[in-house]
Amino acid sequence: MSFFCSLSGEPPQDPVVSSKSGHVYERRLILKYIADNGTDPITGDKLEEADLVSVKASPKAVPPRPPQLTSIPALLHSLQNEWDALVLETFALKQQYNSVRQQLSHALYAQDAATRVVARLIKERDAAREALANVQATIGVAPSAQAGGDVEMKDQTAEEAPGLPKEVVEKVDETNSALSSQRRKRKPGPGHATPAQVKKYAAKHTIPSLHSASPAGINSLALSKTETGLFATGGNDKIVQLYDRNADKVVATLKGHTKRVNHVALREVEGSPRIVLSASADKTARVWALDSASGEYAPRQTVKMHKGDVTGLFVHPIQTIFGLASLDRTYSVHDLTNFSPIFQSAAGEDAYTAASIHPDGVLLGLGTPGSTIQIYDIRSGALAATLTPESSTPFTVSTLSFSENGYHLLAPDSTSSVAIWDLRKQTRATSINLGDNFKINKAIYDTSAQFFGIAGNEGGRAFAHKSWEELARFEEGGEMSDIVFGELGKEVWGVTGREVRIWGASA
């Protein structure tokens, strides 16, 4: 048995019956009607909500079918609608399923790529740690779990560099073993100058007008270690001059560069011809070798592999290779036996503005325009450490020098101060302020590591190592662009303008 709402004619969802008239209503409809009229809609008698009685149906009773389902066509139409809704819902679920599968596939691919990157970084980190361990072993300290002071370990993000050829690495290791084993016994050679003697140095000789007046200026100086008085200079006039002080004459004028010469160096090995090397702002480096037959220097190699100014030049302690650093963010190594390139590093984060090789041949220090010093293991090309000064104002590290005993590194830590880094403790031993107006051009240790020299816009200065006492000032000639210690430290050579000046003990 079923009943219908007297107002809507539909089966009520919440039925109530009037206690006065006995009519059945949908609760929500009759309550609205009572609120508006206050009477029974059928009889017109007064009716209140209290006169309504809820009809309690059995919870198991099946609700009556709506009128539209009382015929077969209506039932079929309703079933068709339900089927269509089911098909649409199934289609939506399939789309959602495919979308989830695609998202899962992307997530798995990303996870696999991340795993590969992490594995590569772990490998490179281990290589860097191994390189640092080798560095620390060569300077006589045990590897530490964490770098101290201002030394920051780096994980390489670029692909690991292939490093030097195996036969070159063997020579480097052999030289490193031989030299590092002697380090603790290294002492100043017999007759080497002392800091007390350096205090008494005075100007004793000037060699003028070595290079052209336009553009004027000498940028670099290199002294011969086998022939007293022989030296090479590189100038703004794009020329390299080889000069004999004793004979007071130019031995050779070496041309070929198209821009200023930034650095010069000499390779001198007993039984082999002397080699002159130069690095220039024209993005090239050149090599000249002495021809024993003619007695003249002939060009042997022109390095054109860099895309920026060549700002660093060094001859490796094994004496058969030399290296270059460039503003193109790479450094390279070249063979002095067959005059061919053997290695170029991957591009780093910063340009390189200076270079210095550790006396034992394993470490390569590179200055940057971002105030930092990067130290590489030259054998593998792995970045071992980064030294970062505390200066808040960025500056360019345009010069650096390892001490002869291998324990210290000398480099600017601001535009007007130099720091001595203790490589054993991996911290700065001290920082020396040279004056607010001082601009550093060159910093170099002497071969005994007893003292070091600084060249700048206010001339040159010499300091004692460990006590950091200023020993002497060399102010004749004004700005000094390069400074070099002579044999046994008995002289200090400097370049000022177009002149080479020599200071030493007065006769």
* Weakest mean pLDDT among 112-121, 134-143, 174-183, 327-336: 134-143
Type of residue numbered 202: A
Query: Which CATH number does the domain housing residue 35 bear?
Result: 3.30.40.10
Q: What is the pLDDT of residues 294-342, one digit of tens each?
A: 889 999 999 999 999 999 999 999 999 999 999 999 999 999 999 899 9
| Residue 250 scores a pLDDT above 80 | yes
Identify whether 82 is part of a domain.
Answer: no
| Residue 177 scores a pLDDT above 90 | no
| Residue 195 scores a pLDDT above 60 | yes
Instruction: Evaluate whether 280 touches 260 at the Cβ level (below 8 Å).
Output: yes
Identify whether 76 is part of a domain.
Answer: no
Strands 15-18 and 24-26: antiparallel
Q: In whole angstroms, how far apart are CA 269 and each of 119, 337, 379?
A: 45, 12, 22
**What is the pLDDT confidence band of residue 405, given thresholds at 50, 70 and 90?**
confident
215: cis peptide before it, omega within 30°? Answer: yes
Same domain, 58 and 197: no
pLDDT over 70 percentage in the chain: 90
| Residue 134 scores a pLDDT above 90 | no
Instruction: Evaluate whether 350 touches 370 at the Cβ level (below 8 Å).
Output: yes
Identify whether 114 is part of a domain.
Answer: no
**What is the pLDDT confidence band of residue 220, given thresholds at 50, 70 and 90?**
very high
Q: In whole angstroms, how far apart are CA 310 and each of 241, 301, 303, 320, 377?
A: 19, 15, 10, 20, 20
State the pLDDT at residue 151: 37
Distance CA 242, CA 222 (A): 9
What's the whole-number mean pLDDT along residues 187-215?
88
What's the whole-number mean pLDDT along residues 192-199?
91
**What is the pLDDT confidence band of residue 485, given thresholds at 50, 70 and 90?**
very high
What's the whole-number mean pLDDT along residues 150-179?
68
* 252 token code pair: 């050779």
Identify whether 119 is part of a domain.
Answer: no
**What is the pLDDT confidence band of residue 61, given thresholds at 50, 70 and 90?**
low
Which secondary-structure segment (H or E) carries 303?
strand 297-303
Tokens 């399939």 label which residue?
94
| Residue 147 scores a pLDDT above 80 | no
**What is the pLDDT confidence band of residue 62, given thresholds at 50, 70 and 90?**
low
| Residue 135 scores a pLDDT above 80 | no
Identify whether 107 is part of a domain.
Answer: no
Identify whether 182 is part of a domain.
Answer: no
What's the whole-number mean pLDDT along residues 480-489?
93
State the pLDDT at residue 200: 92
State the pLDDT at residue 31: 92
* 495 token code pair: 């370049």
- Residue 316: closest CA among 276, 264, 361: 361
Q: Which domain holds residue 322?
A: 193-504
What's the whole-number mean pLDDT along residues 62-71?
64
Ranges 105-109, 261-265, 348-352, 476-480, most confident: 261-265
pTM: 0.68
* 266 token code pair: 């000499």
Distance CA 8, CA 37 (A): 17
Identify whether 477 is part of a domain.
Answer: yes
- Residue 202: closest CA among 450, 433, 507, 504: 504
State the pLDDT at residue 148: 35
Instruction: Evaluate whether 385 touches 426 at the Cβ level (below 8 Å).
Output: yes
* CB burial string 318-350: b at 16+ within 10 A, e below: bbbbbbbbbbbbbbbbbbbeeeeeebbbeebeb
Instruction: Say which residue, 66 or 194, is predicted with more confidence.
Output: 194
What's the whole-number mean pLDDT along residues 264-289?
94
Instruction: Say which residue, 24 or 136, is predicted with more confidence.
Output: 24
Tokens 């269509």 label which residue?
84
Identify whether 372 is part of a domain.
Answer: yes
State the pLDDT at residue 63: 62
State the pLDDT at residue 445: 94
State the pLDDT at residue 64: 61
165: cis peptide before it, omega within 30°? Answer: no
| Residue 140 scores a pLDDT above 70 | no
Same domain, 206 and 60: no
Domain boundary residue, one of 64, 88, 123: 64
Mean residue pLDDT of the chain comes to 87
Per-residue three-class SS string for 270-301: CCCCCEEEEEECCCCEEEEEECCCCCCEEEEE
Number of structural domains, the chain? Answer: 2
State the pLDDT at residue 145: 38
Q: What is the pLDDT of residues 441-466, one digit of tens each?
A: 999 999 888 899 999 999 999 999 88
Distance CA 226, CA 407 (A): 26
Instruction: Say which residue, 506 or 465, is predicted with more confidence.
Output: 465
Q: What are phi and psi of 131, to 5 degrees?
A: -65, -40
Q: What is the pLDDT of residues 410-453, one digit of tens each?
A: 999 998 999 999 888 888 999 999 998 999 999 999 988 889 99
* Weakest mean pLDDT among 96-110, 117-131, 152-166, 464-478: 152-166
Query: Which CATH number does the domain housing residue 422 bear?
Result: 2.130.10.10
Instruction: Say which residue, 470 or 74, is predicted with more confidence.
Output: 470
Q: In whole angstroms, how far apart are CA 458 and each of 6, 328, 480, 499?
A: 112, 31, 7, 16
